[in-house]
Amino acid sequence: MAETTYKVIKRTEYENRGDAPVYIDTSEVMLDESGGAVMKLKLYNNCGKTVRSAYFNAGCFDSSLNLCIQLKNVPYVNVNAKAAVVFGDTQLVEVPRETRSVFVEVAKVLFEDGSSWVNPNQSLAENIVSEEQLGEEWKRLRLTKEIKDKNAAKSGFKKKMSENKKLAVIFAAVAAIALIAAGGAAVSKHFSERQLDYKTAMNYYINRDYAAAAPALAELDENYFFFGNDKNDVRYSAAIAYMNTGDYLSAAKYFLSCGDYKNSVANLRNILNSSGRLIAAGYNHSAAAKKDGTVIAEGDNSYGQCGVSDWSRVIGVAAGGNHTVGMTYDGMLYACGDNEYGQCDVSGWTDIVAVATGEKHTAAVKANGRVIARGNNEYGQCDVQEWSDVVQIAAAGNHTIGLRRDGTVLAAGWDQYGQCDVEGETGVLYIATGSKNTVLVKNDGSVKVLGDDSFSQKKAEGEKNVIAAAVGTDYIILLSADGKAQSFGSNGSNQGSVGLWSDILAVTCGNNHTLGLSDSGQIYAVGDGGDNKLKITAAENIGPENIPVVE
């Protein structure tokens, strides 16, 4: 792509530099090939300290020296300019196309040692600039404009009009101009403020100051109107910034709002999969992976499915009918519990990045996107060896569901209720399945429910803004982008009583109990409390860490 070239149309040297620790050496107004205008400043650090960031006010004027716009606190952030160093002349600031000259002043300077300097006499603090402040050039141009206006008035209307008609025309013209000026001023103020806030936020973002960028971009999205990809770009940048600060719930919300823009889907899946694998609900037991790599399990242990005390380096768990599987950070698997069909014989598997368990089978995704499974295969639930490019796996009862990177869905196994009727489904972000239902969460936050509707589970299809789901025996839990959970279907054991949960990152369902993980690491549990499986709420030190960002 050809580099944009600029033509300098106005260059101003600043002789009276005042007491500011940063001098404005020169300012230039330049035009590109299309007539767009930019301002460039050459700055000089005149103090003995390193300048971290500096902010400037600028008044932009047209060829008649009418004020086009005033920019306040134009940011030059993270410049890290040493003493006696020239800086800033690599940054271009967009100004209105009609700009032909600028008046600039230093507003604020932040130093590396944490101290700051604020200009106590800012001329541009309000939209007022005097002739004395602008110097002789203002007077010359103002005089030229006055002469031009007088000549235009002399050559105006050639026909005489009555005084009343003149007054009527003048009154109408003044009223119209006032209305246009008021509307124009409001619009101009909106866009000038938006431009400044945008530049400030994006400067933080570009310089990877994500802690400052995330809230700045969020406020930008909330306070101003953007359209098309401009809107997506602001929200996508906010999502990336939040993800880099570890605020995964906020990141998920912004990624969802971007649809399939850039890598929104891939990043949102990373958040959901990394969070969702930390908690698991089996038929009658619960498990959770802790930040230190250990695992805690509560509930029925008649098959040894809670025998996880010696596991280490674990980053994800899955709970089947009566067995538990743990995935380590280096792609290995632990397993304990019922092994009637060999569903726990997985210790030799390697390069595993995701794992799921059904009633009596185990399925896993390898780093290359291929899927392997073992255990009961009476209904073909383990016939997954031909699947490829899979990024998420789900299993329940006697079937297996897979999600490909391109948003298409695969299924194998028992299909009595139509829970495996996924052929032709596209644009899917996240999958969840139970013994009788499969839920597909789409890229746009909508939901499709396949399978049984005996308890009105399919009412979940009317929901929007959804990022994840979980499926129990006869009920469905949806997780929205605002961290709220809601239930559809059977609630005989209060397994759907999740309405008071907040800031939830992940949900999972057993037979008749539900677990939720908050962004603060708190595990919530509702439903059938038999065998003390709800005691998993006492677990501490739970939560996702260092989720990789797809730039």
Question: pLDDT tens digits for 495-526?
Answer: 999 999 999 999 999 999 999 999 999 999 99
In a domain, residue 95? The reply is yes
In a domain, residue 156? The reply is no
In a domain, residue 26? The reply is yes
Lowest-confidence region among 24-33, 422-431, 440-449, 494-503? 24-33
The pTM of the full predicted model, rounded to 2 decimals, is: 0.69
The more confidently predicted of residues 158 and 374 is: 374
Total tally of structural domains belonging to the chain: 3
In a domain, residue 550? The reply is no
Q: Quick one: pLDDT at residue 17?
A: 59
Helix (H, G, I), strand (E, B) or coil at 214: helix
Residues 288 and 398 in one domain: yes
Lowest-confidence region among 137-141, 250-254, 324-328? 137-141
Lowest-confidence region among 110-119, 213-222, 293-302, 430-439? 110-119
Q: What digits encode the pLDDT tens for the residues 347-400?
A: 999 999 999 999 999 999 999 999 999 999 999 999 999 999 999 999 999 999
CA atoms within 13 A on the CB side of 543: 15
Q: Rounded to whole angstroms, how far apart are CA atoms 483 and 520?
A: 12
Residues 171 and 48 in one domain: no
Q: What digits encode the pLDDT tens for the residues 50-97?
A: 998 888 888 888 887 788 888 888 888 778 889 888 888 888 888 899
- Helix ranges restricted to H, 246-376: 248-257, 264-276
Lowest-confidence region among 160-169, 229-238, 265-274, 497-506? 160-169
**Cβ partners under 8 Å of residue 536, min gap 6:** 279, 286, 287, 288, 296, 297, 298, 299, 515, 523, 525
Last residue of a domain, one of 216, 234, 262: 262
Q: What digits encode the pLDDT tens for the residues 240-278?
A: 999 999 999 999 999 999 999 999 999 999 999 999 999
Choose among 432, 428, 464: nearest CA to 446.
464
In a domain, residue 15? The reply is yes
Residue whose structure tokens are 């709970």: 319
Residues 106 and 221 in one domain: no
Residues 304 and 239 in one domain: no
Residues 455 and 485 in one domain: yes
Enter the tokens of residue 253.
Answer: 């919300």
Task: Give the other-Cβ count within 10 Å of 170's Cβ.
Answer: 10
Mean pLDDT of 318-327: 97
pLDDT at 223 over 60: yes
Domain range spanning residue 418?
277-538
Burial class (CB in 10 A: 0-12, 13-18, 19+), 128: exposed
Residues 226 and 356 in one domain: no
Q: In what order do the strands lie in the sheet with 523-527?
A: 504-509, 513-518, 523-527
Residues 380 and 307 in one domain: yes
Identify the bridge partners of residue 485 per DSSP, sorted by sequence position: 479
In a domain, residue 515? The reply is yes
In a domain, residue 543? The reply is no
Q: Rounded to whole angstroms, how far apart are CA atoms 194 and 521?
A: 37
Find out whether 358 and 321 touch, Cβ atoms under 8 Å. Answer: yes
Identify the bridge partners of residue 371 per DSSP, sorted by sequence position: 365
Q: What CATH number is given to the structural domain containing 231? A: 1.25.40
C-alpha 253: how far from its chain's center? Answer: 6
Q: Quick one: pLDDT at residue 444?
A: 95
Distances, alpha carbon 330 to alpha carbons 334, 351, 352, 367, in Å: 12, 7, 8, 11
Burial 357-389 (b: 16+ CB within 10 A, else e): bbbbbbbbbbeeebbbbbbbbebebbebeebee
In a domain, residue 134? The reply is no
Residues 468 and 440 in one domain: yes
Q: Rounded to whole angstroms, how far apart are CA atoms 250 and 293?
A: 25
Q: Rounded to whole angstroms, how far apart are CA atoms 113 and 334?
A: 51
Q: Quick one: pLDDT at residue 15?
A: 57
Residues 350 and 229 in one domain: no
pLDDT at 313 over 90: yes
Q: What CATH number is given to the structural domain containing 292? A: 2.130.10.30
The more confidently predicted of residues 437 and 2 is: 437
Last residue of a domain, one of 262, 288, 315: 262
Residues 77 and 182 in one domain: no
Residues 326 and 289 in one domain: yes
Distances, alpha carbon 383 to alpha carbons 27, 29, 322, 340, 464, in Å: 70, 68, 21, 18, 33
**Cβ partners under 8 Å of residue 261, min gap 6:** 229, 232, 236
Residues 282 and 256 in one domain: no
Last residue of a domain, one of 262, 296, 327: 262
Q: Is residue 33 very low, low, confident or very high in pLDDT (cuts 50, 70, 90)?
A: confident
Enter the tokens of residue 427.
Answer: 């644009």
Residues in the chain: 551
Helix (H, G, I), strand (E, B) or coil at 428: strand
Q: Rounded to whole angstroms, how far apart are CA atoms 94 and 490?
A: 58
